[in-house]
Amino acid sequence: MVIIIAAALIYLGYKSQISLVYYLSGAVSLFLLIIVLQFFRDPVRQLPESSDSLVYSPADGKIVVIEKVFEKEYLKQECWQVSVFMSPLNVHINRNPVNGKVEYTKYHPGDYLVAWHPKSSELNERFTSVYSTHTGQKILVRQIAGALARRIENYLEDGQEVRQGEEMGFIKFGSRADIFLPLDANIKVEMGQHVKSPLDIIADL
């Protein structure tokens, strides 16, 4: 779609026979293409050393929430919530934070509040995935659409065995990932810290 829009802009600029309009339409088209390529880039990253005690970041971005909350969708208990905000400049591929089995997946339609809004975790379009680790602990990851993100991709299936660092989904444009962890987890990140997936450790179980 973006390629079609860019081509149309260049064509209209050419047909106008005005040099300024032609060069301006070309510049706008190039800008649009660069932005889209930025969103969809997939850098090669080495998978982390496998560990059943470490939880790696499922997303690139900035830590915007570290707090104790009651997770009411599936875990039904008080947990640590750590949230990673993905700006339009971040890589938007999401990766498995732990080794284990996928126990639960569910898509929720919803609104498109800005991703850092306190209610976005409950009201926005979102996809919930629950992992059961090899040590029996449950980790919930919620992919949340933002004001620009209008499509969440999730590749997981119930019962699937997964490995840390492998791709689990994708969110188009600005968005957020919430990670819900047991209360005895040792949180390894701080508010405002920038993390990369799957390179940075969120917590030690």
Beta carbons of 126 and 108 less than 8 angstroms apart: yes
Reference 54, options 191, 187, 161, 176; nearest CA is 187
Active-site residues: which are they? 175
185/68 Cα distance (integer angstroms): 11
CA distances from 81 to 26, 96, 103, 139 (A): 45, 16, 19, 10
CA atoms within 13 A on the CB side of 47: 14
CA atoms within 13 A on the CB side of 117: 17
Contacts of 103 (CB under 8 A, 6+ apart): 130, 131, 132, 138, 158
